[in-house]
Amino acid sequence: MKPTDTKPPEMTDEHTVVSDGLAGGLSNAEDTPGISLGSSRMEKIRRSMLLTILPLVAAMVVGGLFLFALGRDPLAFYATMIHRAIISPSGLQETLIRMAPLLLISAGLIVAFSAGIWNLGGDGQFMLGAALVGGLAASSAEVMPRGLMLVLMLLIAGTLGAVWTIIPAVMKARYGINEIITTLMMSFIGVNLASLLVKVMFLDDRPGIQTPRTPVLDVADRLPTLFGTRVHSGVIIGVVAVVGVHLLMTRTSLGLRLKVLGANVKAAHHAGLGVSQLTIATFLLSGMFMGLAGGVEVLGVQGFVRADWNPSFGLVAVPLVFLARMNGWVTIAFVFLLSVLSIGGELATRDAGLPNQFGLLIVALVLLFMTVAEYFESRRLRGERTVWATMAVRFLSRGDAAGE
């Protein structure tokens, strides 16, 4: 079987303009230093508005139409969402707490996608790390100091997440089997295995517990909180992970090798980079962050794992990382935006008397419009006309012909 070349599209490292001849050509501006600096700055602002602000506004408008059709006040709904997610101190804390697992998962995806590897098994790696930590943390806290227990649990979660990627990694590196299939299959197995561990091996069998769950870790034994708030130190771990991965990919020789692997597998082979070793290392590093995310969520928020619990954070972070073009700084901003929409949407939906799925609809609309904006912008950078631009040119040319 031939190795598959399935990989994410090649992305630039920064949200900056690097192609030639944009809107009349930045090359002309480069001749004058003052103009070059101003043009580059304006181009960044324009791209920021196009790729973030305009899609967000479009999603809010479409979501408002749905709200109006359901007999709800769109302005009141969005005001509640913003207030509950950002302005309210408790809501802002919940938003920051939600960021912790998403940041760690995003760090794992940045590594994988930069190397051209589709690790879509994040949910299985996340749940296995969470289940093992949930099953062992409470008993471990009774026999060892808090700090040692927390470090040990995080190491266990990260190690299990990495181990769960070994099969897809070997199948990709040795036999060229498509990792999309293998990681999704391993994710399905991992999620169900985590549920089985909770129901059998780590079950809290005390009377009165209806839903199977692991023993509860005392609040005093969980991750330390920050500045007297409910925000736990897992948020700091997540930010450090994303920034560390960003520096790894942009400032080290390993990051350069991974980018070469992601850009062209044949070129990596010819350069003697050790494609098999890099592939396996990428899987292990990516899975480690996924498992670590599960451990942080249990140690910082939940304190236990229920058999029916699965937040499905793995696939949610995929479009964020792509839209951020694997840039760590932009990823942090997008994760914050997603957390605001998620927390604010959940609370606003509850206040409006709507199903919980409506909050997910708002998030999906934002991601959809951001993807559409990214598509049109990439077409513009390549100098290609979009469908709408082509139709406009044809319409104007017909009008000129009719006038003649």
Domains of the chain: 26-384 (1.10.3470)
- Backbone phi, then psi, for 306, in 5-degree steps? -90, 155
CA atoms within 13 A on the CB side of 347: 21
Query: Measured between alpha carbons, how far is residue 291 from residues 43, 163, 185, 355 in Å?
Result: 39, 9, 17, 31
- Where the chain has pLDDT below 70, the residues are 1-50, 384-404
- Scored b (16 or more CB within 10 A) or e, 253-278 reads eebebbbbbbeebeebeeeebebeeb
Residue with the two structure tokens 């419009």: 369
- In this structure, are residues 243 and 328 in contact, taking their beta carbons and an 8 Å threshold? yes
Residue with the two structure tokens 């949200």: 15
Alpha-carbon distance of 193 to 352, in angstroms, equals 37
- The end-to-end CA distance of the chain, in Å, is 62
What local confidence, expressed as pLDDT, does residue 49 receive?
A: 61
What local confidence, expressed as pLDDT, does residue 210 receive?
A: 86
DSSP bridge pairs for 213: 306
What local confidence, expressed as pLDDT, does residue 79 receive?
A: 94
What local confidence, expressed as pLDDT, does residue 387 receive?
A: 53
- Backbone phi, then psi, for 367, in 5-degree steps? -65, -40
What local confidence, expressed as pLDDT, does residue 15 receive?
A: 39
